[in-house]
């Protein structure tokens, strides 16, 4: 999911959260042949609360698996990174994963979190500064996927580390991944390292329940987007007429989240009306899964070398160190 790199489920990425932009994005997405809404709109206050619940569900393996990898291997990971690191986190977490890394690194010098949400950064960094007084913390308010993100940063020291946990890279297309990785290499420097979380390809018996849990929390999370449209931009969605569905797209190696129309219907949003056939969907999110071979190729094509990997015992998830 889009918030997977963020322990507090705060949204990040290419978006502006003004009402006018939300309306424009929704109207444009519903007018497409395959109705599509950008996944970052899932994370209003209620959506973020629901996502926080999702990360604790028994079916939802990514968060606990990645934390487990960090806890089990943190000594080896930090030895590979080396002392005196300046850590740049793309999509700031300031939660369990960030603290595990900062606490275990040898004499870390700087922590530079990048996040689109100024309010989130201010709150999170206040707590981190109190707990890590010897680390220079310099937050940057920016879209972490944009080339401008690191332009705003003065990256001190010779041991620079990019940190991007949580498998959010799986929400990006190949083109977006290429732009992100090549931009990070340029911004961090040719000698930098990059610690990235990637979700691995696995059985659909594991994948589908992770995105369509028995308790219905993920369904509520997805349907909440329609409630947000109703509330914020005068939508008239009847939530009883839509059903959450998680699908595995084999050709693109990704989980897709859809909202499926249960009947033929017309829905008004603002001054526009959109027709739905029975079974027609609104595509709300992608979460790609990687083989190590595929991820290594993406990294190599964009300036990085795969140096080391740490994988859980079930082969569900991987932390990869690039250099």
Which domain does 273 fall in, by range?
19-60+204-288
Q: How far is CA 107 from CA 4, 137, 161, 254, in A?
A: 28, 14, 13, 39
Q: Are 296 and 278 in the same domain?
A: no
Q: Are 71 and 189 in the same domain?
A: yes
pLDDT score for 153: 57
pTM of the model: 0.89
pLDDT score for 3: 54
Q: Which one, of 90, 117, 93, lies nearest residue 15 by Cα?
A: 117
Q: Is residue 7 part of a domain?
A: no
Q: Are 195 and 210 in the same domain?
A: no
pLDDT score for 124: 81
Q: How far is CA 293 from CA 49, 73, 182, 200, 299, in A?
A: 35, 22, 18, 11, 10
Crossing angle of helices 96-104 and 62-81, rounded to 10°? 20
Q: Is residue 10 part of a domain?
A: no
Instruction: Please tell me the total number of residues recorded for the chain in this structure.
Output: 323
| 111 Rama class: left (phi>0) / alpha (psi -120 to 50) / beta | beta
Q: Is residue 1 part of a domain?
A: no
Q: How far is CA 301 from CA 179, 187, 298, in A?
A: 11, 17, 5
Q: Are 275 and 304 in the same domain?
A: no
Q: Are 177 and 113 in the same domain?
A: yes
- Give the total number of structural domains in the chain: 2
Ranking 32-46, 67-81, 146-160, 173-187 by mean pLDDT, the lowest is 146-160
Q: Are 183 and 312 in the same domain?
A: yes
State mean pLDDT over 44-52: 91
Residues 258-303: pLDDT tens digits? 999 999 999 999 999 999 999 999 999 999 999 999 999 999 999 9
Q: Is residue 11 part of a domain?
A: no
What CATH number did the domain enclosing 103 receive?
3.40.50.150
């Amino acid at each position: 999911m889009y918030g997977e790199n963020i322990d507090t489920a705060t949204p990040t990425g290419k978006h502006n959260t003004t009402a006018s932009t939300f309306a424009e994005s929704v109207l444009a997405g519903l007018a497409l042949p395959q109705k599509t809404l950008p996944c970052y709109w899932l994370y209003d206050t209620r959506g973020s609360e629901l996502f926080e619940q999702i990360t604790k569900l028994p079916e939802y393996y990514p968060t606990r698996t990645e934390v487990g990898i960090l806890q089990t291997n943190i000594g080896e990971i930090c030895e590979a990174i080396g002392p005196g690191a300046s850590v740049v986190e793309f999509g700031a977490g300031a939660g369990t994963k960030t603290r595990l890394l900062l606490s275990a690194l040898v004499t870390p010098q700087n922590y530079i979190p990048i996040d689109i949400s100024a309010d989130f950064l201010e709150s999170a960094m206040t707590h981190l500064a109190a707990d890590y007084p010897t680390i220079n913390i310099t937050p940057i308010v920016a879209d972490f996927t944009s080339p401008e993100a690191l332009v705003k940063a003065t990256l001190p020291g010779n041991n620079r580390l990019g940190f991007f946990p949580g498998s959010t890279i799986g929400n990006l297309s190949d083109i977006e991944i290429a732009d992100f990785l090549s931009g990070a290499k340029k911004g961090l420097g040719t000698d930098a390292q990059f610690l990235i979380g990637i979700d691995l390809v696995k059985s659909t018996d594991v994948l589908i329940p992770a995105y369509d849990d028995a308790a219905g929390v993920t369904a509520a999370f997805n349907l909440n987007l329609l409630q947000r449209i109703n509330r914020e931009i005068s939508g008239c969605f009847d939530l009883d007429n839509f059903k959450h569905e998680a699908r595995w797209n084999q050709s693109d190696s990704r989980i897709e989240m859809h909202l499926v129309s249960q009947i033929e219907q017309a829905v008004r949003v603002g001054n526009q009306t959109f027709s739905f056939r029975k079974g027609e969907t609104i595509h709300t999110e992608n979460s790609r899964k990687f083989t190590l071979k595929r991820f290594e190729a993406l990294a190599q094509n964009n300036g990085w070398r795969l140096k080391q990997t740490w994988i859980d015992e079930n082969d569900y998830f991987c932390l990869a160190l690039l250099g």
